[in-house]
Chains A and B, each alone.
Chain A
Amino acid sequence: MILTALYLQSQTFVDPTIRAAAVQSLLLAGLFVVLFLESGDGDLLYLAAITAGVRGILIPAVMLYQVRRFKHSLRENGTGQRVPSLVIVGVILVIGGYALFKTALLPTLSNPATSVPFVLVLLSFLLIVTRRNALTQMTGFLEEENAVLYAGALIAPSIPLLIEFAVVLDILGVVLVGVILSATRDVLRTLEEPELEQLKG
């Protein structure tokens, strides 16, 4: 999971980023299946199906369709040169995040595996705040959602219906994002146009 997150950080083109997010979601679905086999909790199987179907296949397919509308591989504007340093920042976040988790959370949560989603949340935030392309930011959001649902399944698997509701609402959110993205193609090249000066200050 963390390797896929670091791979996401290392990409300057949008399509491999989307594919990596899809792989991460499928890996998470596999983890939910393993947890189901251990605990027998049917909710986990349901969650695995939604994770694989929606975040592993459906949403990446919609996003890749958006990319194909440009008829060429879409690349981050201006972020390419910064990618190596962002990967280093990502690695530092992994190490620092784990150290922080071990000090602050491990004594209470008592499950070292919870450190993985904790670190993933940090990496997803890094992806969202450092990228300018809307689709790459969206993969950051998918990664964050993966991380939190992973944390939920590890920390409180019996939490009533919350995970299912969260997934349903996020589907709705992503559908809306799809509508916004399709409303104008130009929105994919954001923040560098003079008219967006109006959104400064």
Chain B
Amino acid sequence: MEQSLIFFGLLAAPAAGAAISLVPRDGVEVVASLLSSGAAVLISLFLLASGTSGAFGFFYSDGLTRIMAITISSVFFTSVAYSRFYVKRINEPLIRFRWYYSLLDLFAFTMLLAITVNDLGFVWIAIEATTVTSALLVALERERTSVEAAWRYTLIVSAGLVASLLSVIFVYFSQGTLLISDLAGASIRAGLLLPLAVGFALVGYGTKAGIAPMHAWLPDAHSEAPSPVSAMFSGILLPTSIYALVRTFNLLQGLPSFGAMQNLLIGFGVFTALLAAVIMGYQRNYKRMLAYSSMENMGIILVGFALGGVGAIGAAIQIVAHAFAKSSAFYGAGNILVSYESKSMAEVQGVATRLKYSGYLFALSCLAVTGAPPFGVFVGEFMILAQAMSAGNITLVLLLAAVYTYGFIGLNRQSVRMIFGQSSMGPQADGELNKPAPAVPQRENWVSVAIPLANLVVALMVGVYMSPLLLQAAQAVVP
């Protein structure tokens, strides 16, 4: 019962924030959302420290739950804090700001629900609900492109998720229960339907996680959503879908069909990562570039979970490190967008001169998300590679090495050009052609710098000093 209260508290915080945000008084929505997200962080930290594991009525917790809870609540908190700076630039929002904050809280609530419930049916419902709560957030800026992106997101993801409902139906038909705690035991009944359920989960949850070739919505939604929402999409929504997929996949542990489905997941993971790593280097829009980087990371994380062992631990670490580093990158991108009013890399040059802190933070965040040592993503990627090596899968090792290298060069080459390059597109001085416009340093809002800096520091800490609590939770991810 006491443990159940932890989960009730974790869900009650954002739910209360969502309700209070609707009170029609100026500023209430910001305070309510900040307090509720802060409370969610504290409760998640308590959950992590307590090492709570097992089934507690409606709820279920293990290492993966604890990892996801702290990641979701932290990025939720920083996105709420960053929103205060970011959304005020939007002149004609699609919805009132109090609705924006309320939906942001509900979005976090649905993700926290998905990772704490002890029922695969409710996991599906919660993930479907994340689409409902986030669709309007994507279209907040009310531009034609953002409305179109929201439409594509809603339609493609909903269509995909209906396929994962088939997965849930197959699990129930073959096992007679949807309770994760009952399914975690050795009582799993083998048969054709369970691997089929994993296949449908791969299509359904994979669509939401941005697994290729079902990823068509992802670059649009990430690039058109407001930056704090993009950070939540990339850092926590995609891993929440991976969580649901992994929960279904783990049902196959020890069954004859495990190897075939493991190879299927590895195949899709590598294909996604490789495709994203190649496309990333050719982007003209820096937010789309970051979106493809998220796809690359999700592909690698999927490979890690499919490999199991050290690979699964690496995947869990990468989820945490990527969430903090990528949210930092999206906040940095938000600062750049506010200053330049353009998402085009051709029009955004010499950022380090104009926005000194945001420029350097963006460049460092790009290094962090592409696995540069000593950031946490590097540790995760290295562990996944090590697992592939110990499994003796040379082809996979070579493919992963290619992904890491391609992704690193592709993203950082573009970001360095943006941050440290000189503009030839700006207004020309003295009528001379091809002379770069002189970059004028701008004063930066300290909140807009402090938040991405804090997240980047956490991403670094995951790499250089792994908290024993985090490591313990990551180790408990291995089935």
Q: Is A184 an interface residue (CB 8 A)?
A: yes
User: Do A169 and B285 contact each other (CB < 8 Å), given the known contacts A144-B159, A145-B162, A198-B145?
Assistant: no
CB pair B169–A155 under 8 Å, yes or no, is yes
A residues in contact with B46, CB < 8 Å: none
User: Do A201 and B282 contact each other (CB < 8 Å), given the known contacts A107-B192, A108-B192?
Assistant: yes
CB pair A169–B192 under 8 Å, yes or no, is no
Q: Is A166 an interface residue (CB 8 A)?
A: yes
CB pair B169–A176 under 8 Å, yes or no, is no
Q: Is B313 an interface residue (CB 8 A)?
A: no
CB pair A160–B178 under 8 Å, yes or no, is yes
B residues in contact with A187, CB < 8 Å: 144, 147-148, 151
Q: Is B62 an interface residue (CB 8 A)?
A: no
CB pair B158–A199 under 8 Å, yes or no, is no
B residues in contact with A141, CB < 8 Å: 155, 158-159, 162
Q: Is A1 an interface residue (CB 8 A)?
A: no
CB pair B219–A152 under 8 Å, yes or no, is no
A residues in contact with B122, CB < 8 Å: 165
Q: Is A38 an interface residue (CB 8 A)?
A: no
**What CA separation (Å) do A170 and B323 show in the bound complex?**
29
Q: CB < 8 Å: which of A124, A145, A162, A190 contacts B151?
A: A190
CB distance from B65 to the nearest CB of A (A): 21
CB pair A199–B172 under 8 Å, yes or no, is no
Closest to B154 in A: A177
A residues in contact with B192, CB < 8 Å: 104-105, 107-108
Number of interface residues of B (CB under 8 A): 50
B residues in contact with A109, CB < 8 Å: 173, 193
CB pair A196–B144 under 8 Å, yes or no, is yes
User: Do A166 and B125 contact each other (CB < 8 Å), given the known contacts A145-B162, A180-B139?
Assistant: yes
Q: Is A138 an interface residue (CB 8 A)?
A: yes
Q: Is A156 an interface residue (CB 8 A)?
A: yes
Q: Is A50 an interface residue (CB 8 A)?
A: no
**What CA separation (Å) do A52 and B131 show in the bound complex?**
24
Q: CB < 8 Å: which of A145, A151, A161, A179 contacts B169?
A: A151
Q: Is B368 an interface residue (CB 8 A)?
A: no
**What CA separation (Å) do A105 and B172 show in the bound complex?**
16
Q: Is A64 an interface residue (CB 8 A)?
A: no
User: Do A176 and B162 contact each other (CB < 8 Å), given the known contacts A138-B155, A201-B279, A201-B282?
Assistant: no
Binary per-residue interface labels of chain A (152-179) against chain B in the complex, 1 for a CB within 8 Å, 0 otherwise: 1001100111100110011011001101
**What CA separation (Å) do A179 and B135 show in the bound complex?**
10
- Give the residues from 106 to 130 in chain A that come closer than 8 angstroms, CB to CB, to chain B: 107-109, 121, 124-125, 128
The 3 closest A-B pairs by CB, nearest first: A162-B121, A156-B173, A108-B192
Contacts beyond the supplied A162-B124, A162-B168: 10 A-B pairs with Cβ under 8 Å: A141-B162, A144-B159, A148-B162, A152-B169, A156-B172, A159-B169, A162-B165, A165-B122, A180-B135, A193-B144
B residues apposed to A, CB below 8 Å: 94, 121-122, 124-125, 128-129, 131-132, 135-136, 139, 142, 144-145, 147-152, 154-155, 158-159, 162-163, 165-166, 168-170, 172-173, 178, 191-193, 196, 219-220, 223-224, 279, 282-285, 288, 343
Could you list some 10 contacts between A and B, CB below 8 A? A108-B193, A109-B173, A109-B193, A148-B163, A155-B170, A156-B173, A166-B124, A177-B135, A181-B151, A199-B224
